Amino acid sequence: MHILVVGLNHKTAPVAVREKLAFTPEHRDRALPVLRNTKSVLEGVILSTCNRMEVYAVVDQLHTGEHFIKGFLSEQFNLPKEEFVDYLYVKANDEAVVHLFRVTAGLDSLVLGETQILGQVREAYYAALEAGATGTVFNTLFKQAITLAKRAHAETQINHNAVSVSYAAVELGKKVFGSFAGKRVLIIGAGKMGELTVKHLLANGARQVMVVNRTVEKARELAASYDGEAYGFDALPEVLVRADVVISSTARGRTW
């Protein structure tokens, strides 16, 4: 048996490519049984975040496993392999294990030491466990990776850096403006990252926050919690011209 990871991230692929190979939680949950039943694959976990997509697998043969995992991705996203294989990295055995540990601890993140990835790896593992896609190897390995990441955060100064992309975005804005006081800030996206961004903004003096989201009800829910304004995507052109700062945080790719 061999451990294999096939993936791409912010270092190897542009946003346009990452968007095409991004699993939503619902898509991932449907895909996990397919991955587990893919030829050569004995166990599997799918990790998909705004900055990376990775398939971890226990395979019976390395080259065969890599071939069929790439085919799995091609089928899942209805893309010819030629459109994405050049952006993929493939790591095997010890190199794959070290990569997982680095990812989980935040050492391979866009923002060094960010802690959100630990929760994302944990959620990806438990989704695979619930789907029956893991076994002895990954049930041990992923628990070790999660434990190691917790120790790294508790016993080192790694997370003294910016703890999330949203935090980094706010810190960058402070360097530009000095202060968010009196600034009108537009947040595009009402998910977890959008809410974290609003919290960081308010903690740094922002008092005029507008939230735009594809589902206006979610925008209203987030905005109401922080005395902000809510809009649907159709109002984006109008709201953009009123904003001093725009931070985009959507499931289709996050930029700031």
- Residues annotated as catalytic are 50
- Between CA 156 and CA 164 the distance in angstroms is 17
State the helix-helix crossing angle for 136-155 and 94-105, rounded to 10 degrees.
40
DSSP 24-35: -HHHHHHHHHHH
Sign of the torsion angle spanned by Cα atoms 193, 245, 179, 15: positive
- Rounded distance, CA 74 to CA 89, Å? 15
- CB–CB of 43/57 below 8 Å? yes
Residue 115: both structure tokens together? 């802690």
Pairing, β 184-188 against β 245-250:
parallel
